[in-house]
Structure 1
Amino acid sequence: MSFTLSILDQSLVGENENAETGIQHTVRLAEAADQLGYHRFWVSEHHNNPQVAGSSPEALAGYLLAKTNNIRIGSGGVMLQHYSPFKVAETFHVLASLAPGRVDLGVGKAPGGLNLSTQALQEDYQASRKDFSQKLVDLKTYLTEHTNELNAQPIPRLSPDMFLLGGSIESAEFAAKLGISFVFAFFINGDEALLKEAREAFQTYQKAGTRQQFLLAITVSVADDPEQALSHIKQKETVKVSFSDGRKLNVTSLEDAEKLVKETEKEQYNIHVQKTGYTAGTKETVHHRLTELAKSYDINEFIVLSPIVNIDERITSITLLKEALDQEQTNQKPNNQEVNV
């Protein structure tokens, strides 16, 4: 089974490196992905995290568009709760005007950080701000409807493709009903039963005649030595914190969960440890696992997230994975050459 490969990069910062180096490594990875023939390259939004330098995907995306030639560039994703949908639409319309047909707008519901950074990002907001669902509806309107009195200028010839990133059945259903694509964050929650339900919900509610897709985001580590590949998988669990007011936040450790609960001063909450979704090994092993997932859940495109901090090894990982996919596609092509005896 054939599928498409794309990349989500977080601009990881290694030991004895600074954030500037992490951003520069993302540029190198994007250039390599472009040359290798990956379909998309997305960058993430995280705040106040010394191990992850990517905090402004819209700014980094503009530079990456200028440094690459063919690959689609986008956000994975903009944390919409912090921002005006109108301003986000304007920003991505500018990008789409500079690089027509190459811009993706991935949107996330999470804050991208803990309470301190969230408070700093939202310090000018009124308490009665819109909920996330309405902001997402507004954003889609600004991106797709240009006959209103208020338009997000400049209006590009080709609008950015829009995606919702999430890890729940409700998010998959909402994206389908809204008419946008959905990316299931398997790298955060690797529960295949949940994945199956989310896939079915999206398929049930997606609109006919649209280009909506259900993509799977998964942590991937590839090396010639399978033990080396597995050694890069440091995080095999994440922690979900659910509050009584309906908010749900994913953090990387129980320590962060306890810190979050303490900062919010919420009396009622629930902490749930969940396994992450990843695959690690040789290129053949990883390709086989992705093929299994593609067949089981009707996945046509994977967004691969690399946990590898060393940039040379990270580039090697995406190179080996693409080699395996290219070889599989070559093997599937019919041999039309005539043989004269």
Structure 2
Amino acid sequence: MKLSILDQMPLAEGRTRSDAYEEAKQLATFADLLGYHRYWVAEHHHLAGLVCPSPEVMLAFLGAHTKNIRLGAGAILLPHYKPYKVAETFHVLATLFPGRIDLGLARSPGGSAEVTNALNDQFLKKVYAYPSLVDQLLQYIQNPKFDSKVIAEPVPTVAPDVWLLGSSEKSAQLAASKGLPYTYGHFRNPNIPMEPLNQYVQQFQNKNEDKKLKSIVALSCICADTTEKARELGLSEAYRSHLASIGKETEYLPAVETVKKEMQADPKLAVQLKGKLEKALIGSPADVKRKLIQLAVSYQIDEFMLLTNVHSFEERRLSYKLIFDEMAK
């Protein structure tokens, strides 16, 4: 079973945006040494507490500090951009880091309505045209010289792998219809069955007999030496999620001690956060391994992409190490 990392690049309380970029570099380097398969960076725009609007820039930075791990965008929000420009950008990355670049695509806005309009005042129109945008991009990448007057230079010796990301039946159906690998965002809807993934597998096999099925499940996961410690680490993301649900977004991922003080001041908060924690895969190494294997068997999964948002960078890094070491046993 392959293990990969999804980095939303959270801004932790008490640290700067520069710190967040440095932590991404350190985590990618660490993951490369451990043997993680991929390291993907998410795209968000002026979204509270998440600091990467340009995955392609981060990938160039991370590529310069890693040797083997695949690097990718999880995802480029294609309705914001012209497919030709995206192809050019990822051709440059694939030329710099041959055989290591993934291009994940999604249709979500990645920010508020105001920010979305600032990026692209035709966003909804482009969302409706998303399947066509994917086709255009695939043409530039998979058949780069189809039009000698419009080539997305430089054409790399090894093209980037294109993935579709999503958590809906619509995204799963689109990936299957295009014969593309699919990443299911379990972390977005952790309490519902992964039916879109099942649909993708069935439809892909029916329509693409000559292609190899590839899929990833991206899920929220926190691991520590004990389940109690892991749940404590999970308080930061649970509290941030709680604030967002009541319209009080915070600009950073709060420290555990900050959350504990809030819980002391509001006893009802502890109950609410408990519900949030139950949505994530949290526990000791043995607990996490057992749950991952259960999911893998139930849904025929051969690669998990782990999203771990905790305040302490040291604990975040340790979480990834504990899981990797346990799964290797």
Structure 1 unmatched runs, 5+: 240-250, 258-273, 328-341
Preserved contact between residue 179 and residue 210 of structure 1 (Cα < 8 Å): yes
Letter in 1 for 2:309: P
Look up the match of 1:143. 141
Look up the match of 1:174. 174
Partner SS for 1:20:
helix
Look up the match of 1:163. 163
1:51 to 49, 62, 68: 49
1:203 to 201, 204, 209: 201
1:212–1:254 distance in 2 versus 1, CA, 3 Å? farther
Look up the match of 2:245. 253
Look up the match of 1:98. 96
Look up the match of 1:66. 64
Aligned equivalents of 1:254 and 1:15: distance in 2? Answer: 20
Letter in 2 for 1:46: H
Give the 5 Å matches for 1:205-224: 205-206=203-204, 207-224=208-225
Aligned equivalents of 2:240 and 2:294: distance in 1? Answer: 24
Partner SS for 1:183:
strand
Matched, 1:35 2:28: no
Task: State the 1:128 CA deviation.
Answer: 5.6
Preserved contact between residue 56 and residue 89 of structure 2 (Cα < 8 Å): yes
Look up the match of 2:255. none
1:143–1:212 distance in 2 versus 1, CA, 3 Å? farther
Preserved contact between residue 231 and residue 277 of structure 2 (Cα < 8 Å): no
Preserved contact between residue 229 and residue 282 of structure 1 (Cα < 8 Å): yes
Preserved contact between residue 238 and residue 276 of structure 1 (Cα < 8 Å): no
Look up the match of 1:190. 190
Task: State the 1:232 CA deviation.
Answer: 2.9
Partner SS for 2:177:
helix
Partner SS for 1:322:
helix
Aligned equivalents of 2:110 and 2:248: distance in 1? Answer: 13
Partner SS for 1:11:
coil
Letter in 1 for 2:154: P
Q: Deviations over 1:120-175 (max 9, x none)?
A: 2115x598656222111211121101232222111111111111110111211110
Look up the match of 1:326. 328
1:237–1:310 distance in 2 versus 1, CA, 3 Å? closer
Look up the match of 1:278. 280
Preserved contact between residue 142 and residue 151 of structure 1 (Cα < 8 Å): yes
1:276–1:121 distance in 2 versus 1, CA, 3 Å? farther
Look up the match of 2:315. 313
TM normalised by structure 1 equals 0.81
Aligned pairs, number: 296
CA RMSD of aligned residues (A): 2.4
Q: Deviations over 1:191-236 (max 9, x none)?
A: 442x1x2122112221122233121000010101211211233456
Structure 2 unmatched runs, 5+: 250-275
Preserved contact between residue 80 and residue 119 of structure 2 (Cα < 8 Å): yes
1:191–1:169 distance in 2 versus 1, CA, 3 Å? farther
Look up the match of 2:264. none
Partner SS for 1:187:
helix
1:307–1:127 distance in 2 versus 1, CA, 3 Å? closer
Give the 5 Å matches for 1:238-249: none
Structure (1 or 2) with the greater helix fraction: 2
